[in-house]
Each structure stands twice: as structure tokens, then as C-alpha cells.
Amino acid sequence: MEELFNTFSCKSWIILKEDHAHKLVQMLSLQKRRDDLSWEQLLEGQDKTPNTLIFTSAAKGYVIVEGDMLEQKGTSIAELLSADDLVFNMTIDIWVPYMYIEIFDQGKLIRRLEYNLDVEADSVVAIESGDKSSWEKEINYTPESTLGYDDFFYPLYFINSLGIGMAELKQLYNSKCTSYDCASNL
């Protein structure tokens, strides 16, 4: 599990229904790079650029799309993709520390949860908008991060509430995925 927490300690990603992955490829005119490496291999190799998006294989009906560009453009992409289904946009940066989860539906942001560290008060500040989702009621903080700051790994626990457990995440991390280049300026 430590490998997963390390991997997600500074990442941005979108989770969408499996049958909507092609919509993202078309919307951004993505150019396929390769489909013969695992997510882990792509992250460790030289075949990833700031405009590379990595699509995992499906798990529990969802696809995870990860890429550096999503830190800045994830919100606008998720909003566009959510016209006809839920889309989740998430970021963790444990080194700030900072995290957020956004839930979009029908082209609108319906929920946002953000955690920041108030260094002066030595406490976590939560900023929320929208109604608490049904998935959030299922969240369980196990296993705990070996890096500490469990609150900032909340998006991983959220993914767990979608039915994608830590074992499935680890399997996705080690399985073949597809990488694309994005030339679009959203």
C-alpha cells in the first residue's frame, strides 16, 4: 500500500464511467502514444510529458485518467465531460499539503471538498460546498497512509467508496494502460 500512497502523494486525476472514456479522447482530440506499459512503468519512464494523459483499464465500471495537466485543467475538463453523467475530479499534493474532490453532474459542480493545512494553527481547514454525497457517507479511513496526513489522502478513500478498493487500485497501477498526448488548449 505504501507504493500507492507514494504514487498518489502528488497527483491529479479524473474518474469517469468506462463508457465515457472515448468521449474524453474525442473532446480533446487526444493522440494515442502507447498501450503496452503499466501505469507504474509510464510514471517511471521517459515516455510521459506534461500533456500526457494516462487512462487505466476499467475497474468497477470506472476509468481513472491521470496527468499533470489535470492539476490546472481538470475542473474545466470534468465540467465538460459531465453533461450526461457524473465525473469526479481529484487532486492530492501532500507536500503543500492540499487536496480536493469535485463532483460534477449535468455540466455543473455539485460538490467540492477541499483540505488545506493552516500552519499557524497547526490544523486542517476543510472548505465544503454542495451537499454531502452518498459516497462520502461510506468512507472509511483504512488503511492509513504511512506518510501521515491521512486527511489529505481523502480522495483515495473516496475512490474506495466508489467500489474501487486499494487492491483494485494496486492492480490498476500494475496493469497495462493507454497513454495519450493532448494538444488541445482548453
Nearest to 51 by CA among 25, 29, 70: 70
160-171 pLDDT per residue, tens: 888 888 888 889
Distance CA 66, CA 72 (A): 12
Distance CA 74, CA 182 (A): 13
Helix axes 154-161, 166-174, angle to 10 degrees: 100
- Exposure string over 104-126, b if 16+ CB within 10 A, otherwise e: beeeebebbbbbbbeeeeeebee
pTM over 0.85: yes
Amino acid at 91: T
Nearest to 66 by CA among 149, 131, 135, 77: 77
37-50 pLDDT per residue, tens: 998 888 887 677 88
Tell me: pLDDT of 64 over 80.
yes
